[in-house]
Structure formats: C-alpha cells, structure tokens
Structure 1
Amino acid sequence: MAAESQGAASEDFAERQARNRRLSTLIVFLFICLFLLIGSAVDYLYFDAFTPSALKLPVATLTAFTMATLISLMSYYQGSALVLGSVGAEALDLKLPEHRELRNIVTEMALASGSPMPKIYVVFDPAPNAFATGRDEFHSAICVTTGLLALCSREETQGVIAHEVAHIRNNDILLMTLVSVLLGGIALLSDWASRSFYSSRTRDRAVGKSALLVVPAFLLILLSPLISRLLAMAVSRQREYLADATGVEFTRNPLGLAKALEKLRDAAMPFQGASRGTAHLFFVNPLRRRVDDREGHLADLLSTHPPIARRIMLLYQMTGAGR
C-alpha cells in the first residue's frame, strides 16, 4: 500500500514537472514573440522597414531575435547565478549555528521530497524572506535572508524551506528563473526604444506614416514592460498555493508554515535587494504592496503572490482548525 502511494506521488510530481516544462517553453516563446514585436515596431518607426516605399532589412527585428535567443540561453544556464548575484547572496558560514541549523533543515526537506540537495545561500538583510532558483532539481539553490532565520522558529523555518523545496520539486524554478532574466531584457529593449522615439529624427520619420500603425507600435514599445510583468504574474500566483500544499506534504505540519506566514505578514518589511523582475521568486512579495492582500481578477493580474491571509486560512483548514 505504501509503495502504491509513493508511486502515485511520484507520478503526480512527474506530471507537474512535465506541465511546467511545457509552460516554460510557452512562456519563452511568448517572450521571444514580444521581443520580435518590439523589434518590428522599432524597424517600422525608426528605420522605415516594412513600408512599400522602402523594403529595408529589418535590422532591429533581427537584433531583437538574436537578443531574445541569447537571453533565453543565458537564463537557462546562468539565470540562477544572475538572480543570486542581484540580491547579494552568499554561501553558508557553517561556523554560525543558525547556518548549520538551516543546512540541517534543507537536508531534511530534500530527503523528505526525494530531491537532490540544493545549494544553500543567505542574504544579510533584516527583511524575512526566501526563494528558490535554478533550472532543475539537479541545478537548484535555496536562498534565505538572515531576517527570516532571526524571526522564525525551527518549525516555521522548516515550513518555509519545504515550500521552496516544493518549487524545486514541481520544477517551478526553471519557469520563474527564465521569467526573471527575460523581464530584464524586455525592460532594457523597451527603454532604449522609447528613448529613441523622442528624438527629432524619429518623429520626422513617423510623420506621414499611417496612424493606425504608428500609435500601436509606439504603445507596444511603451507598454511592453507591463505586458511582460503581467505574464510573470500570471504564472506565479497559483504556484504559491501549490507550493504551500506540496510543502505540507513534506513536513506533515501545515501549522509551521501558517505561523511563518503570520510572522512575515506582521513584519511587513520590504526586501531592499528585490526588484519587480525578481519579486515573483520570493516566498512572500518582497515589495510589500497593498494589492497583494486583495482578491479578485484585478488583483490576480497585478500581484505576483496570492493574499497572505488566504494562504494562512487554507493552511489552518488543513489542520482542521479553519480560520
């Protein structure tokens, strides 16, 4: 009976991983399409490409495609290193007792989940938070702030680590890491394109072109960072619920995770090292925006994380003591 249960669980994880791999491919494809659309808009507005009178080589489109391909490859192979570097993550110092305890907790959760041991990093920041990154369970890392280690008990820290190990086990980390780096690429390309639009030369070239094409092209350039962030938020929010539930499977203790969420909610401390491009990676939103505490379709669009209060309520329901 136990063997059957274990087999079913393995099949469930395998199904989630396969689904997330497919979604990762789709998201990368959508981001590449967005890069190409921005490049095409730049070619049309700035270089007179795609016009009947001047069939020029679409330099910006080709550049955008090359850029998207390189960023996608870099995201896959070096994305976790870039993310860890951006937040100032450091390796554990095993001379410190709290770091040794963290290593023990991660080891326990790796064993409970049947996953290889991830690398462990800390960020010296008082804001309590954590995240996982990497491209698969064999190339993964968990990063925890010193604020979380100071605030949470061992039981609560175990709940947080189980949640992050669940992201690794479900293969969420590849998708989230890819999105983080691609968001940065879209922002850079859009910023360059929008700045160029304000040059007199570009405005002169836009004169005489169809407003039906000029206006959408400019809006695409202007709004592409928002569109890309909405894509990131769409793939992040529901994954937090799943990681909570999967983490509880590893610890058999929903109360530990619920108490950790309560403490992080009450701390309400933003993490200075985070950005809008990496916010979706974290255990709770490090930017601490009010929209994260709301529910509904608008909140689903604008927030990377589900409301903490709802996550806590669902965890207490697992204990049979609903709130």
Structure 2
Amino acid sequence: MARPVWAGNLSFGLVSLPVGIYTATDSHTIRFHQLQRGTSDRIRNRRVNERTGDEVRPDDIVKGYDTGDEYVLVEPKELDEIAPGRSRSLEIAGFVDLAEVDPIFFDRTYYLGPRGAEFGKVYSLLEQALAKAGKAGIATFVMRQHEYLVALKAENGLLTLHTLHWADEIRDPENEIDALPGKAKAAEKELKMAEQLIGAMSMDWDPEQFHDTFQEKVAALIEAKKTGETVEKAEPAAEPTGAIDLMEALRASIERAGSPKATGGKATASHRASASSEEAATKPSAKKRIRSAPKEDLTGLTKADLYRKAAAANLPGRSHMSRDDLVEALTSAGT
C-alpha cells in the first residue's frame, strides 16, 4: 500500500478525523537522460558555489531571500516553527457549491483516507453528507513548507482533496493576451451554425476513449531507432480559418460530423438531429444554390481522421500504424 504524503487531522466544526492524503494521479511521461552529443556520457546537475566552483553538500545549503541590498537567511526548521500545529491540521472553513469554483482555480487532486478502521464511520458520514448536499469543503493546510488552499469533495464513496490556486495567482487575461477580440460580434447565421456544429459533435464524457498518443509515438520512435527503421512524421497543422471562409468551413464541418462515414459508421441521435436542422436551415432557395462539400472516403481522410475511425472501431495496434496501414486496416474491417 502507498504511504500518505501528509497525515494529520481533518476538522469540521467540533468534529475531528485523523486522515492521510494520498497521491491520486501518475505521470506516464517518457523521461530521457541528458548525454553529451557523440558520447554515452551522462550530464549531471550539481549544486555548485558560483564564486568558488566547488560542489556544496545539501546539509550546507540554506534558503536566502534577496532584499536587493543583502540576503536574509532562513533555515528549513525555522519555516516549520512558524506554522506550529497547522502543519498537521486540515480545518474546513466552510462549505460551498462546487459549481461556484471556477475550473481555473483547480491544480492537483489527492485521495483522502481515514487513518484507522475505527474512524471509518466519521469518514463515511462526512462523505455522504457532502454528496447529498452537493457541497465542497474549503480549507487550508501546510504541507512541505507550503500552505495550500483546498476543496474537499465526495466522489463515488471517497473523499478527494483538490488543491486550488490562490486568487492572486490567477493572471488577468487582459494583461496576458494582446489579441483578444473584445466585443467583436459574430453574425447571427455564423453563430447558429457554430451552435449546430457543437450539437453535432456532442458526446458523452468517457475518459477511457482518450489516451496519450504522443507518448506512444515517442515509444515507437525509440523502438524504431533501435532497429534502424524510420517513423512517419506527423502531418502539418491545419491552416487557420479566415473570416471569409468561415461559413463554408462550418457547413462542411457539420456535414462531416453528422455523416456515418466520419463517425466510424455510427451517427448519433444528436448528429442526425443536427444534420436535419442544418439541412432545413441551409436549404437553398429557388434563386440560390449552395454546393455541398463532397462526400469523403477513406483515401480522402487525414491520418488524424483515420485514427479517430480506428479508435471508434477499436482496431488493435492503431497507434503504431502509418496512414496507409490505417486505410488498409479500416478497409479490411469493413469500416
């Protein structure tokens, strides 16, 4: 069993519950060592005194805050001493509707577990009460010489802890992005078609449908370099859609999203409904004719589209297939 990254007491009102915080997620990033080019010599990072060039032991390192004129030195134990008790206390300040917390505030997720079977009843009581109320507990606590703002919520019989950014850590987009459209207003017809496209592409949230294809490609690249083979390069990014081409791009997108050929042979009810409403909304009058985008076949699809179809058909080994391999596999599968 995993060891908790933090252990202490969770309290709400006068109720106290000994808990442990456990890491909830893993990273599957492929990690590389740094080597000097042309050799197999590892590159190491060392703590070095920039004046003498000598390596410094971790025990001889203290923290220093630069005030401009001098450094104020702080020992690690001094940071622990200024948070007595709080380093082992997770006290809920109040409960809020989770919908009120903007997603930009969320950082990392942890599991929360009781420290002992005898505390299961209190743990379960809080989990059930939070689930029924639809609320999240807001609290602060100290871990590893940092204070965290957190949201405590119930999820499928379990208490989870979500660290939150502090309000002053959220950057103002007006100061960060110099090309915001401001009050630019979309044309009514463009807005309607964009809404239809969203409806046509609506789906149920299933995280199992998605996986890190880039890491798979990195693994394939490593394997190919071991055997001297070549790996197909990714296709270039799509060209930006200009304002003059927006309507035609929206129309073609709706047709593709609603067609069985573009959705692995299965058009959802929302796809069909959106396609019907699009047909009614864009039905040409007697004076005007609108040419529809040509129907796509496998040979006309991009590799990204082919991969989506392969994923929908649950074809094995698709992440290592070239574009031609995908076409052949999909054709053989009758997709």
Q: TM-score range by the shorter chain?
A: under 0.3
Higher relative contact order (CA 8 A, sep 6+): 1
Q: Which has the larger radius of gyration?
A: 2
Q: Which has the higher strand share?
A: 2
Q: Which has the higher helix share?
A: 1
TM-score of the aligned structures, taking structure 1 as reference length = 0.22
